[in-house]
Amino acid sequence: MDPDAETRRELQTLIDQGDVASLQERFAGPLQFGTAGLRGLLGAGPARMNRVTVAQATAGFCAWLKQEVPDLATRGICVGRDARPNSDVFERDVVQIATGSGIPVWRFRDLVPTPVLAFAVLELRAAGGVMITASHNPPGYNGYKVYWENGAQIIPPNDRGIAGEIERCPALDEIPRLSLEEARKKGLLRDADELRESYVERIAAEVRGRSTGADLRIAYTALHGVAEDTFRKVLARAGFEDVHSVKEQASPDGSFPTVAFPNPEEPGAMDRVLALGNEIGADLAIANDPDGDRVAVAVRGDQGFESLSGNDIGVLLANDLLERHQDSGQPVVLSTIVSSPMLGPVAASYGARWEQTLTGHKWIQNRALELEEEGYVYLFGYEQALGYAPSSAVRDKDGISSALLIVDMASRLKAQGATLLDARDALWRKHGFFADRQVSLRFEGADAQARMNAILDRYREDPPHSIGGQAVLRMLDFERQLQWTPIAVSPFNGRAASNVLVFELQGGHQAMIRPSGTEPKLKYYFYAAAPARLGDDLPEAKTQAYEVLERIVGDLISQSNDC
């Protein structure tokens, strides 16, 4: 029995209206564990985010934890939430079911950024964590993000184990629960709020006291999310207090009244913070996404504000961290396969190891932990979708600590009469210019996933020999763990299966295709390289790279449309 009167009314209305298509869509199948948990539209039915799917996920997570973590009863789990509709209801369900299962819960009493929840899992040595958030997804979505005891998002076999327990979970009214009052009386509900201050102090300490920067003026927006207070405290603690917020976007509001799509990457999302930046003469305009795990940056240049791409930010942060690295161990930096190949030559210039992982910080952080066990020193991981992990204090992307490092870097550059744009251009001249483009093809209808899969399977069956006039040297199929060349097909170790195709092209160019993990669309990623020998003439390098990029993009999208 669905415990939510609102979703019961929703179903009854659809039944009364005879809306078979909408009913079929909601009951097409259960919401699958994907990007480290669940994410989807709010609504009734097993294909939506609602109290039933949250309860089943929690029961499955608890059952799996009991099998895998012997000291679960003393360590417990951490639980947090963002400001989206029903986040408070879902969080309460998680707490009641976990404590009803005898598992202690460390709970934040109010809204909390995702990086603070991830920090708490490590700081408290908890057995895991749950964050109720849909991150940067549009209004109408919510999600259920799961962390393991290592502080990172779950990967196989834990995701599969939890999914199996969800399938075996009892009927909703048979899942034991404790009220919040009962849980407190039994000592199973514990306050995690002091971890907010611990996070602020730990992150600020990573730059505080560093010599010699110049004062910066910063325009900032939290995009109606939950990062405002923590962001300002971290920057102030590190000595950066000239921060001016977009007032109408500063308070948490899950309806996102001033932005159609609360993702800083989306056109228009940063309009208000850029306007504020121009009004106050800011050096930087910074936006966090609604749960604070991503960050976007625009820099004041000669022609006004210029937005840095996700890859620009990632390479700048990696280069700065590598340049300042002083430990004896060999540093390692990681990026995803859809992020810029430019990190490779940057890392090599410092004698650092560079690895690529599948898309998502769950892969970056779990691989980083393996490399640390081998003796490497983890410095940084990033993905081009504005997700950066510059501190081992948080084993996930962290838009707040990343913003602090960006501000610190910009401050040091300003003292030298330079900007982040100058630093980026210097890296291009040294290592080559990489033009990049991302294209998404959206699919509608109940068969959207099947149609997307058919396009990728068509490439697998008949790989192209050239794209945009550039010969395909190799196609990597991460789902089948096979590599295709014009000469042969052979296995390769992609570490984990994923429905991704990577085309490596002559000249160092690349193209990639994968289905989105959270929306019905195919994502295409393109990179075209201009070699470092052209660095002395950066405009020429850019022109050359973009000409190649346009041909590659046009050809691959045309091929996909023909499938």
Instruction: Give, for 380, the enclosing helix (H) or strand (E).
Output: strand 377-383
| CB-based contacts of 1, cutoff 8 Å, min separation 6 | 172, 173
> Which residues are bridge partners to 463 per DSSP?
none
| CB-based contacts of 487, cutoff 8 Å, min separation 6 | none
Whole-angstrom distance, CA of residue 207 vs CA of residue 192: 25
Short-list 523, 404, 516, CA closest to 135? 516
- CA 246 and chain centroid, separation: 24
Q: Are 114 and 132 in contact (CB under 8 A)?
A: no
Whole-angstrom distance, CA of residue 474 vs CA of residue 382: 24
Whole-angstrom distance, CA of residue 333 vs CA of residue 343: 8
- Give the position of tokens 């961290």: 321
Number of alpha carbons in the 13 Å side-chain half-sphere of residue 163 = 16
- Give the position of tokens 């960006």: 406
Q: Are 538 and 432 in contact (CB under 8 A)?
A: no
Number of residues in the chain: 563
Helical spans, DSSP H, in 257-330 = 271-280, 310-324
Instruction: Give, for 552, the enclosing helix (H) or strand (E).
Output: helix 538-562
Q: What residues are annotated to the active site? A: 135
**How is residue 532 annotated by DSSP?**
G
* N-terminal to C-terminal alpha carbon distance within the chain: 43
Give me 225's structure tokens: 């999310």
**How is residue 29 annotated by DSSP?**
S
Give me 88's structure tokens: 């408070």
- Give the position of tokens 């990029």: 549
Whole-angstrom distance, CA of residue 286 vs CA of residue 268: 14
Helical spans, DSSP H, in 281-357 = 310-324, 343-349
